[in-house]
């Protein structure tokens, strides 16, 4: 193998290794949970945002909530102690299920990106995501589906 071909091969190998590592890390950090449906509310405990590592407690920025009766999951961002944003993970372009990456939702179909308040960051989507009102009661976060 000549030098140029060797460097090219190693370069792509490194890119692949770094990409899979980042993808694995982002998958591991997303918490998916089944919420309870109560009337027109999806309910989840606020403790769902807690992470305990080596006796240290921290809080996740978001969780992805699912329920068998929902066609798409809902991404819930914790913006502040008493401020949560619930977003329907259906792309407003052509309806593909979105993926959560940090403070953005990305569409695997055509690359649209949405901010944590549902606004379009990058097209081709040109409409914001559907949002749901939230409220806190007795250590439960309630997402109003109506």
Site residues for ligand FES, 79-138, by CB under 6 A, read: 91, 93-94, 96, 107, 109-110, 112, 124-125
Can you tell me the distance from the alpha carbon of 94 to that of 18, in angstroms, rounded to the nearest whole number? 30
Can you tell me the distance from the alpha carbon of 7 to that of 20, in angstroms, rounded to the nearest whole number? 20
Residue closer to ligand FES by CB (options 19, 122) is 122
Which residues 6+ apart lie within 8 Å of 140 measured at CB? Answer: 43, 44, 45, 46
For residue 5, the minimal CB distance to ligand FES (Å) is 37
Can you tell me the distance from the alpha carbon of 95 to that of 109, in angstroms, rounded to the nearest whole number? 9
Residue closer to ligand FES by CB (options 48, 131) is 131
Can you tell me the distance from the alpha carbon of 102 to that of 81, in angstroms, rounded to the nearest whole number? 18
Residue closer to ligand FES by CB (options 63, 89) is 89
Dihedral sign (CA 68, 69, 71, 75): negative
Give me the 29-68 binding string for ligand FES, x by CB under 6 A, dash otherwise.
Answer: ----------------------------------------
Binding residues (CB under 6 A) for ligand FES: these are: 91, 93-94, 96, 107, 109-110, 112, 124-125
């Amino acid at each position: 193998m000549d030098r140029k071909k060797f460097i090219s091969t190693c370069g792509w190998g490194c890119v692949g290794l770094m990409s899979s590592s980042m993808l694995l890390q982002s998958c591991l950090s997303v918490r998916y949970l089944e919420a309870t449906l109560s009337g027109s509310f999806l309910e989840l405990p606020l403790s769902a945002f807690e992470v305990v590592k080596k006796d240290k407690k921290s809080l996740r920025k978001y969780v992805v909530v699912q329920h068998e009766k929902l066609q798409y999951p809902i991404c819930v961002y914790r913006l502040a102690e008493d401020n949560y944003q619930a977003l329907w993970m259906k792309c407003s372009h052509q309806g593909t299920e979105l993926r959560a990456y940090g403070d953005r939702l990305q569409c695997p179909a055509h690359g649209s990106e949405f901010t944590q308040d549902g606004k379009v960051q990058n097209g081709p989507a040109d409409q914001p995501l559907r949002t749901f009102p939230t409220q806190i009661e007795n250590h439960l976060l309630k997402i109003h589906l109506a």
